[in-house]
Structure 1
Amino acid sequence: MHLEDSELDHELVSMALEGDLGRDLTIQRVEDEEGFLTALRESPPHIVLSDFALPGYDGLSAFHAAHQLEPNLPFIIVTGAMGEEVAVDTLRQGVTDYILKARLERLAPAVNRALAEADARLSRERAEQEVRALNASLQLRLEEVERLRGTTERQNQRLEVQARQLEEALNLQKTFLAETSHELRTPLTALLGYLRRAEREAGGSQVLQDAQRVAENMTRLVNDLLQLSRGELVQSIEMHFVNLGNVLRQVGRDYGVEADAADCEIVGDPGRLTQVFANLVSNGIRVSGGPDKVQLVLNLRPGEAEVLVVDHGPGVPDDIKPRIFDKFYRGKEAGSAGLGLTIAQQVVTAHAGAIDVLDTPGGGATFRVRLPLPDDEGDEDFA
């Protein structure tokens, strides 16, 4: 923008710029204060060239008006005459430069320099704004990190408290099991001795034999609980040929559940196997509500005997299945110390077998026990 009341001077300035400026040029001429202020508001220029003395207006007033609207707008005074003191005062007040009309060859370099400085200043300001924005963003992130760190520390503290409480609870449970097992061993040993004496004196009574068998199983269970409370594995497994069908049918009679089990000979410990299936059947009765909702099924498959303990209770949720055999784990339906399934798993594993839990069609849980068949029996049955 050129603030100039003389048409001739405007043409001279335009000619000086068009030849030497080295960039696209559009010059808007205004002649007075009103035109100048209107042009500033409606089409802000990149640079202002202004005569110093105009009718009713002056270059310094024009500079202050432009500076108020745009503080960084380059402003060069192009005048016919200016005393040194006046020139210094204009520069002191912030005018970018001044050029005498008698030396217009200096105008293009001065304009280029002023525009370059304005561009550099604009770039610097943008960079500073970006840096400030980045610093503000980093500050927010640091505050968020500190907040998350504080939250994590509080959560860790709560977890540590919960871990200590859990450890204390497990230690109390182990202590209780150990003390209870010790207390039960003495009366059970005495009871077993009385039953054996009564069985000898009665001459083979079936009722006394069954009572003696149950007492032996209870004694074994108490010993197992004591071992597991100490972190030891189930021991005292004596292997020999045993009719698995007889074991399952006996468990079925003891608990009043249906047992679909044909004769099947495997190598195992009949007492331990009885303990496994008695545990699974009693759990099934407890969670399903009665023996009529539990069934024992024996299936023969290539190389193995598969025993299914089927119940029609609430079932086992998928998220619990991986943990159900863990020591001291107790589900919502738990009524024990959480060691029965652990003992069952250890006994089955000692028989080179496997145990897992499946969903019963229609609702409920099915515990599946797979035990290996002797090689000669497997070859005979599935040849």
Structure 2
Amino acid sequence: MRSAATELEYTPAEKPLAILLLEDSELDARLIRLQLEESGLVFRLDRVDNREDFLGALVPGRYDLILSDYDIPGFDGLHALNAVRRLLPDMPFLFVSGALGDERAIELLKRGATDYILKDRLERLVPSVKRALREVETELRRRQTEEALRRSEERYQLVMRATSDVVWDWELDTDTLHWSDAVEQVFGCGKKALGSGMEGWMRRIHPEDRDRVRTGIQAMIGSRADRWQDEYRFMKEDGSFAVVADRGYIVREAGGRAVRMAGAMQDVTEHKRSEEERQRLLSEARRRVEFEQQLVGIVSHDLRAPLNAILAGASMMLQRNGMESWQSKTTARILSCAERSTRLIRDLLDFTQARMSGGIPVRPASADLHELTLQVVEENRATHAERDIQVSQNGDGRGQWDADRMAQVVSNLVSNALKYSPEKTPVKVETWGEEERVLLRVHNLGEPIAADLLPRIFEPLRRGKRRSSRSDRSIGLGLYIVRELVLAHGGAVEVSSTEAEGTTFTVSLPRTAPATPEAGTGG
């Protein structure tokens, strides 16, 4: 006799499990592979990180399972899911991502995702994979059973009007109840143990559910309805209870008298557990989002306020006469550290805002990119007096942009150029207006960006090689924020970098930014 535990366990086939992974982070891919290996699964994992390679891999029969991140540059998880459901509708598809939020997670499940796993809860990965494969196996068995029932006699023709799993057929006049062979596999009990009448069935129903089920069936039989359904607890042979979804179809004579009732019981215990687990994860995701929002508020208000006081105090001290040299140097160092901390907090707030809301909000108004650029360059000339920053401007620089945010874009690019170029070389900043757009170009000489880093230079926490310096230490968010701000204005940013020509960042901005909902950054 096969136990219920054996039925619920996933038994791997002899050939390795073929898994396709859509993931742009090499570190996350390694963690996923390690989690699968530690479980003892025999598998083959193929990783892709872009739209073209992913679509090219969607060949029938090549893979048993797909794992996908949600945030892929240029190709998000929703488009990947839609492509799989269109080309391989039965393929198990699991998201392995960061916090998705309640609405997005529910929407993905509605659109056909099998499940999702948070990256900080990878211990759920293997159980979710096994559950997905079991569901595929169950679905395949269900289809085969349905096909067999269609070819069977009248009893199975009637049962096809209900969900098929454990099939039963009840002749009301004689109180004779027939069970399919599946009852032993699902519940571990033979047909004889259930008896041949309704009472044997009712004795197996949990006492708290029994009266409701009996009353419901009798009410349906006495009415004109032809369909009945209920969910209740059914005792298995080992004494435990399975949650079953039971559906029946009532056959009536011409006068309406019920003479027969056929139906099917499906064990939904695992489904109920999965739903409870899903709800638990959604609750955890909600708490995580709330924590991030609280953290943003703390960083925004409780840290920036004392830094502003430090900045103001240090600036006033530097303006005093009669300070000794060591006092001036110490005060200047305090001012520099406070300014750097303010920039780091700003970058962290922008990064968090982009991750939580899908972008950084902007408030477009009339602005002139020429003027904004000159202001930023003058500020950098004051703090980098030893550097040669060259500016050229042509055409009309006016448009509808968020002036503070665009100044942030220019400042990040100019600071980046100064940071990554030799001190004796110039940094060139160009702005020029065209008919429908305004362009910004920032160029510097020096060692080019590594070829393997260039395609991912705008990703967060990516930094190129440069001279070590404690004074200009960053956390690698500047270029990511540049891209997010440019995208929020409906523009585009690109980079080219060679040994001969140096490195050039080019920003293209439409004169009118797209309308976006206003939202604060916690300031």
TM-score w.r.t. length of structure 1: 0.44
Structure showing the higher strand proportion among its residues: 2
Structure showing the higher helix proportion among its residues: 1
In terms of Rg, which structure is larger?
1
TM-score w.r.t. length of structure 2: 0.33
